[in-house]
Structure 1
Amino acid sequence: MLRQIIKDYELIDPVNTLLVPGGESAAPKELIFHVMQDNAANVEVLDIGFGKGGLGELLKSHPATKHWSVDGVDGFEGAFNNNTLFDRKIYRNLWHGLAQSIPSERFAKYNIICLLDVIEHLSAETAKWLLRTLLTSMGNDSFLFISTPLWFYPQDSQQSGDLEEHLIGVPASSMMALVPMMYAVNPPLIGGFVLGKRSLDFIEFFQPTTDKGFSYHRGTMLASAINFQNVPGKLFKLT
């Protein structure tokens, strides 16, 4: 179930919690500036797992994208204890709830759906279901911007219900098998990938692992074996 907290930049349903925002993303977020052919267009973005609002702040602080409309969803109550973010009118609409609760028809309205450092917090089956749902439901000319560690990055919960624990690792081979349109990487082997509708034809090859022994070393070896270009800060366009 989704609960709307911010509507048209205004706080309509405050969350009463002592929890505080968390979830700094190590994703190569700057990749989002290369997704659209024309950044001057009116672009609508959905930020799933917005955390502290870093992606929204990045877009609103850049002159080429400050006019974009950014909505967000987060399952952690602490993300909504952030009046500083709300007062700056960064996010147009915000909902409290899990990505799995978002009605599939809502995805079709967005030009870019962002899933940054989120999917590794899901079970393997939920991750596969969510990725298939996003690719199926988004518009034919829309994009899915997803980032994840390309190994089993060890991370546990910091406070009750914070959804911070990592449950899966995603091999580079699994992401490249989705035929991304472009990708970039940040240390320590955190990949960002832009997927189009065509990736739905390859969804069966998305196979995350629950093996906690899938270490950084093993992830790097696998990335090298498929000729994945692990060059931090460099954009690779595959189309």
Structure 2
Amino acid sequence: MLHQTVKNYSVISHIADSNLVARGDSASPKEVIFHILQDNKIDTEVLDIGFGGGNLGEMIRRNPDTSHWSVDGIDGFLPNCHNQNLFGKKLYRNVWHGLAQSMPSDMFSKYKIICLLDVIEHLTLDTARWLLRTLLTGMGEDSYLFISTPLWFYPQGNIQSGDLEEHLIGVPASSMMALMPYMYAVNAPLVGGFVLGKRSLDFIEFFHPTTDKNFSYERGMAVTQAVGMQCTSGHLYKL
């Protein structure tokens, strides 16, 4: 179930005191967001799933070419949705507390870009497959899904109670490239960012994450090289 805490840039829900700290950032190549559209000057609505500390929203809104974009966020960790300091900056138009899988599927169609940055590896295998299919199905015909994930089983556990930080799956590069991305970039340590379109639905059956914690960085790199991906940090590759 979703609970809205910010509406039209204003906090509409009680902000609870907590010893838990708002947190969550992505090692993904977030700058790819500025290269997805042919014209960044058009009015654009963005959904930031698992917005964490709000770094993506701030990056978008601080860039003069995209400062007019409207960014909405959803996060399953309550302190992130009660981050008064973040909301005071008026970066996120609407914010919901809850899981993306609780969002009505028809909501996805309103967004030009849906961002799922370093989120899918925190889900179970079945939920990850379901969510990816749901996002691709629900988004508009001319919309984009910007997804990032470590291309190996990056070991990470929870830091705070309920923070959803534990990694449950690893995603091989072969799974992501089989989805026919329009572009990709890779940051250290082997974290790939991929831009998908509606056409990826035709290849969704090839998305095969693994629960094998022995899927190491070295094995992930071997798969990445085998499928011909380039791994130079800071470079964007268009396909």
TM score, norm. by length of structure 1: 0.98
CA distance in structure 2 between the partners assigned to 1:54 and 1:160 by the alignment = 22
1:166 aligns with 2:163: no
CA distance in structure 1 between the partners assigned to 2:165 and 2:29 by the alignment = 19
Match runs of 1:51-200 below 5 Å: 51-200=52-201
Q: 1:76-107, CA deviations, whole angstroms, 9 ceiling, x for partnerless residues?
A: 01102321111110000000000110100000
CA contact (8 A) 1:15 1:77 kept: no
Aligned residue type for 2:16: N
> What is the RMSD of the two structures over their aligned residues, measured on CA atoms?
0.7
> Does 229-238 or 8-17 show the bigger shift?
8-17
CA contact (8 A) 1:20 1:81 kept: no
| Matching residue of 2:225 | 224
Q: 1:14-41, CA deviations, whole angstroms, 9 ceiling, x for partnerless residues?
A: 2414121111210100000000111000
Give the deviation of 1:144 after TM superposition. Answer: 0.1
Match runs of 1:198-213 below 5 Å: 198-213=199-214
Aligned residue type for 1:9: Y
CA distance in structure 2 between the partners assigned to 1:123 and 1:59 by the alignment = 29
| Matching residue of 1:10 | 10
Structure 1 counterpart SS, 2:180 = coil
CA distance in structure 1 between the partners assigned to 2:103 and 2:22 by the alignment = 21
User: Percent of aligned positions with the same letter in both sequences?
Assistant: 67
Structure 1 counterpart SS, 2:195 = strand
Q: 1:180-201, CA deviations, whole angstroms, 9 ceiling, x for partnerless residues?
A: 0000010000000000000000
Structure 1 counterpart SS, 2:163 = coil
Gaps of 5+ in 2: none
Aligned residue-pair number: 238
Aligned residue type for 2:42: A
CA distance in structure 2 between the partners assigned to 1:66 and 1:134 by the alignment = 25
